[in-house]
Structure 1
Amino acid sequence: MRHAARVERMLDKLCTGIEALMAFGLGMMVLLVFGNVVLRYGFNSGITLTEEVSRWLFIWGTFLGAVVALREHGHLGVDMVVSKLPPAGKKICLVASHFLMLFIVGLLFKGGLDQTRLNWNVTAPTSGMSMAVIHIPAIVFSVLAAIILLFDLWKICTGQLSDDELVMVHESEEALQLKQVLADAHHPTRSAS
C-alpha cells in the first residue's frame, strides 16, 4: 500500500509539472502568434519562425494534455452499459479496456518511433530543425500513458478501487456533476465534508 501511495504522489507531481509546462507553452504560443500579428499588420513584416514554433507547441500541448486527462480519467467515454453491470462485470470491462488501451499505446509508440527515425534528417523549412520534433510527443505520450495505464491496471487487479471507481470514463461532465449533486442531496453529511 505504501508503494502505491508513493507512485500516486509521483504521478500527481508529474502531472502538475506537465500542466505547468503546458501553461508555459500556451503562453509562448499566445506571445508568438500575437507578436507576429502585430508585426504583420502594424509594421508590414513578421517572423516566420513563430508559426513553426507555435505549431510545434500546439502538438506538444495536445499530447501532454492527453497524459493529464488520462491520469485524471477525464477522457469521455460511454458508460451506459458498464455502469449497469455488477462489480465483477465492471472489473472485467475495465481490465479489458486497459489491455486494449495498452495495445493502442504500443502501436502509437511504434508509429511515433518509426516516424521519428524517418524524419530525423528532414529539416523544417523555416528553422532548419529536425522534423522529428513533431513526432517525439507521440513517443513521450505513449510511454507516460503506458505507465499510468499499468498502474491503474495494478490497482484494479489488487482490489484497490471501490465499486464507484470501476467506471473510469463518463459520457459527459454534466451527467457526472448531476450525479454528484443528487448523491449530495441524498447524503447531506457528504456535501458538508
Structure 2
Amino acid sequence: MKIAVDIFYKLLEYLLVILMTAMVVMVFSNVVMRYFFNSGLMMSDELSRFCFVWVTFIGAVVTFRENAHLGIETLVQRFGRTGRLVCMAMTQLLVMFCAAIFFWGTWQQSDINASMRAPVSGLSMIWVYGIGYFTGGMIFIISALRLLNILLGRVTDAEIAAFANEYDDELIGERAQ
C-alpha cells in the first residue's frame, strides 16, 4: 500500500513538472512570437493561467503531504509529548474542516463553472475550478489518516519533533525510513 501511495505522489510531482514546463513553453513561445513576428498564440495566455491554477492546487497537496507548509511552532515547542499530540490532533481536525468546506464550495459552484466557457479556448471552466475537488478531498484524506495515526498511538517521535519544528539528525533519519 505504501509503495502505491509513494508512486501516486511521485506521479503528482511529475505532473507538476509537466505543467510547469508547459507554462514556460507557452509563455516563452508567445513572447518570442510577439517580439519577432508581431503575433502570438491566443490560447497560450489562457492555458498557461489554467496550468498555473493546477500547479498551485496540486502543489498544495504534495506540500501538505510532506509537512512543508508554514507552521507556528513557538507555542508547540513548549509542550511535552501529550500536549504536542493534542495540538497535532486539533490541527488535523481544523485542516479537515477547512478541506471539507473547500470541497463543498467546489461542489456548490460546479454547476455554474461547468456551464461557463473560457473566452479563448472554449473549455468548460470546471476544468479549472474542478481542481478544488482533488485538493479538498486529498488534503481531507491525508489529515484524516494523520488523525487516525494520532488516535491509534502510531505517531513516531520524529513526526512529533517535525510538528514542533525540532529537527535532529537522528530523528530525520528515523523519519525518512
CA gap 1:10/1:26 in 2 versus in 1, 3 angstroms:
same
Match in the other structure for 2:64: 70
TM-score under structure 1 length normalisation: 0.82
Match in the other structure for 1:103: 97
Match in the other structure for 2:16: 22
Asked if 1:121 is matched to 2:135, the reply is no
Q: Offset of 1:54 from its aligned partner?
A: 0.4
Preserved CA contact (<8 Å) 1:87 1:166? yes
CA distance in 1: counterparts of 2:134 and 2:96, whole angstroms: 14
CA distance in 2: counterparts of 1:10 and 1:98, whole angstroms: 23
Question: What fraction of aligned residue pairs are identical, expressed as a percent?
Answer: 32
Match in the other structure for 2:151: 157
Preserved CA contact (<8 Å) 1:105 1:145? yes
CA distance in 2: counterparts of 1:96 and 1:32, whole angstroms: 43
5+ residue gaps in structure 1? 1-5, 185-189
CA distance in 2: counterparts of 1:92 and 1:170, whole angstroms: 12
Preserved CA contact (<8 Å) 1:112 1:138? yes
- 3-state SS of the aligned residue for 1:120? helix
Query: What root-mean-square deviation, in Å, do the aligned CA atoms of Structure 1 and Structure 2 show?
Result: 2.0
Match in the other structure for 1:42: 36
- 3-state SS of the aligned residue for 1:78? coil
Preserved CA contact (<8 Å) 1:91 1:166? yes
CA distance in 2: counterparts of 1:111 and 1:10, whole angstroms: 30
Residues 34-86 of structure 1: CA deviation (Å, up to 9, x unaligned): 00101111100001100010000000010000111111111110011112211
Match in the other structure for 1:3: none
Preserved CA contact (<8 Å) 1:71 1:148? yes
CA distance in 2: counterparts of 1:133 and 1:73, whole angstroms: 27
TM-score under structure 2 length normalisation: 0.89
Match in the other structure for 2:127: 133
Task: State the AA in 1 paired with 2:157.
Answer: D
Preserved CA contact (<8 Å) 1:22 1:61? yes
CA distance in 2: counterparts of 1:154 and 1:39, whole angstroms: 53
Match in the other structure for 2:74: 80
Q: Pick the aligned partner of 2:50 from 47, 56, 60.
A: 56
Range with bigger deviation, 99-108 or 134-143: 134-143
Task: State the AA in 2 paired with 1:163.
Answer: D
Q: Offset of 1:113 from its aligned partner?
A: 1.6
CA distance in 2: counterparts of 1:23 and 1:75, whole angstroms: 20
